[in-house]
């Protein structure tokens, strides 16, 4: 019995991509069945291949973002390489690029030109700040966007700002690009026409900054930097236990606060203490509240604290180290781990977040640089002699 088709089976994506944002979008397309042909520079490829060498000598970023893709090397500065891309685009459904500002237009791969040549093509451009405006040409690495979008000003402790531990601007842009491409493909089913969509890291992260932006504009002051605690709710944050562990707990309303004080802390009188009687009061007196919680939690193990919180119906989570997540019982019980091959050997992988009951997502190998160049050129009717000539000229 054949495997049921995935939603994007038969969709061809051509990607001139590098780093994180665009590769994340196209990997999610590949997870859902799309064929993704990744265009890389001869010799070095996507510079994310060199970010680190922790996964069997390979970059952790690249392994995460590039499974189930085909790698084709092309020097896009050469006209013969652009001709290869155009032949691919003649067959493609989607083109994704996150080249430097203006580079796609200079190569003849800008949205307007491609929409003219290929009316059914969905063209997705991912940039740092968008196609115009005073920051159009600015460098746009993830941490820089976090700074410009104000994220650093609300993240960290009162004394020190901190960037997010993961590239949130890149991830946000990648997910919006993924969503935009799906929407454009759906629209094409109705109209028969492709579309050009634009996604920027800055626009994506400022959208994610919605709560602090509104809080600051209409409240007059920005949310305080409170480390692992919530800026506007208390108690809501990480608390240590007597065995050296950590528990994240979240008390979000007055009923929960009364239950927490009585059943978890064993101090029902705290619920009536004027310092803690309301949400805003608990935030104002956070230090005293934290001291009261620490006094009790310091006598408990992580398990004892979690058991008390669960028995009282108080939302909580155990503070786990990154390495512990691979053995998280929720992942193991639901069989959320798989394996994929890489040039350096097989690696563990998480199944995609989008569940399709009865259908397995694509979990195919991470490609070696240029591993599919000759096969794709042959598919485009290049002869062996032509391929040899392209290789001799440094085009591939």
Domain-wise residue ranges, the chain: 12-208+336-392, 236-318
Q: How many helices (H) and strands (E) does the chain have?
A: 18, 11
Q: Over 186-233, what HEC string results?
A: HHHHHHCCCCEEEEEHHHHHHHHCHHHHHHHHHHCCCCCCCCCCCCCC
Written out in words, the top-level CATH class of the domain with range 12-208+336-392 is: alpha beta
Rounded to the nearest 5 degrees, what angle is found at the Cα of 149, between the Cα atoms of 145 and 152?
A: 85
Which has the closest alpha carbon to 314: 293, 331, 283?
A: 293
**What band does 231 get if pLDDT is binned at 50, 70 and 90?**
confident
Q: What is the pLDDT of residues 91-138, one digit of tens each?
A: 999 999 999 999 999 999 999 999 999 999 999 999 999 999 999 999
Q: For residues 184 and 263, what is the distance between their CA atoms, to the nearest angstrom?
A: 52
**What band does 358 get if pLDDT is binned at 50, 70 and 90?**
confident
The neighbour count for residue 70, using CB atoms within 10 Å, is 20
Q: What is the pLDDT of residue 83?
A: 96
Per-residue DSSP letter, 251 = -
Q: What is the pLDDT of residue 368?
A: 97
Q: What is the pLDDT of residue 1?
A: 56
Contact between 200 and 127 (Cβ < 8 Å) = yes
The CATH architecture that domain 236-318 belongs to is 2-Layer Sandwich (3.30)
Catalytic residue numbers read: 230
Q: For residues 302 and 281, what is the distance between their CA atoms, to the nearest angstrom?
A: 28
Mean of the per-residue pLDDT values for the chain? 94
Q: What is the pLDDT of residue 343?
A: 96
213 pLDDT more than 60: yes
Q: Is the pTM of this model over 0.85?
A: yes
Q: What is the pLDDT of residue 355?
A: 87
Percent of the chain with pLDDT over 90: 91
Q: What is the pLDDT of residue 230?
A: 87
Half-sphere exposure of 27 (CA within 13 A, CB side): 28
Q: What is the pLDDT of residues 365-394, one digit of tens each?
A: 999 999 999 999 999 999 999 999 999 999
* First-residue to last-residue Cα distance in the chain: 40
């Amino acid at each position: 019995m054949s495997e049921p088709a995935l939603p994007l089976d038969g969709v061809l994506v051509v990607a001139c991509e590098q780093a994180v944002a665009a590769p994340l979008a196209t990997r999610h397309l590949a997870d859902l069945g799309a064929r993704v042909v990744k265009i890389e520079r001869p010799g070095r490829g996507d510079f994310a291949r060199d970010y680190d060498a922790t996964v069997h000598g390979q970059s952790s970023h690249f392994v995460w973002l590039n499974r189930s893709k085909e790698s084709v090397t092309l020097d896009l500065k050469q006209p013969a390489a652009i001709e290869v891309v155009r032949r691919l685009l003649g067959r493609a459904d989607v083109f994704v690029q996150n080249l430097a500002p203006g580079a796609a237009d200079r190569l003849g791969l800008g949205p307007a030109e491609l929409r003219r040549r290929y009316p059914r093509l969905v063209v997705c451009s991912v940039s740092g700040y968008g196609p115009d405006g005073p920051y159009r040409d600015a460098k746009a690495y993830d941490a820089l966007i976090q700074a410009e979008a104000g994220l650093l000003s609300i993240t960290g402790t009162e004394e020190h700002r901190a960037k997010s531990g993961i590239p949130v601007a890149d991830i946000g842009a990648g997910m919006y690009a993924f969503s935009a491409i799906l929407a454009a493909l759906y629209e094409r089913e109705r109209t028969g026409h492709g579309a050009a969509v634009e996604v920027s890291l800055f626009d994506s992260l400022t959208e994610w900054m919605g709560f602090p932006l509104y809080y600051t504009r209409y409240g007059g002051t920005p949310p305080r930097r409170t480390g692992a605690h919530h800026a506007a709710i208390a108690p809501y944050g990480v608390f240590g236990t007597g065995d050296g562990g950590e528990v994240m707990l979240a008390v979000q309303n007055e009923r929960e606060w009364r239950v927490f004080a009585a059943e978890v802390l064993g101090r029902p009188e705290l619920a009536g203490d004027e310092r803690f009687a309301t949400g805003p009061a608990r935030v104002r007196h956070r230090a005293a509240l934290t001291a009261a919680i620490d006094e009790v939690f310091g006598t408990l193990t992580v398990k004892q604290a979690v058991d008390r919180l669960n028995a009282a119906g108080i939302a909580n989570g155990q503070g786990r180290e990154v390495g512990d997540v691979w053995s998280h019982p929720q992942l193991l019980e639901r069989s959320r781990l798989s394996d994929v091959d890489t040039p350096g050997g097989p690696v563990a992988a998480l199944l995609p977040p989008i569940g399709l009951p009865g259908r397995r997502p694509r979990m195919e190998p991470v490609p070696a640089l240029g591993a599919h160049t000759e096969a794709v050129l042959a598919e485009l009717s290049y002869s062996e002699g032509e391929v040899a000539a392209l290789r001799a000229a440094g085009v591939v």
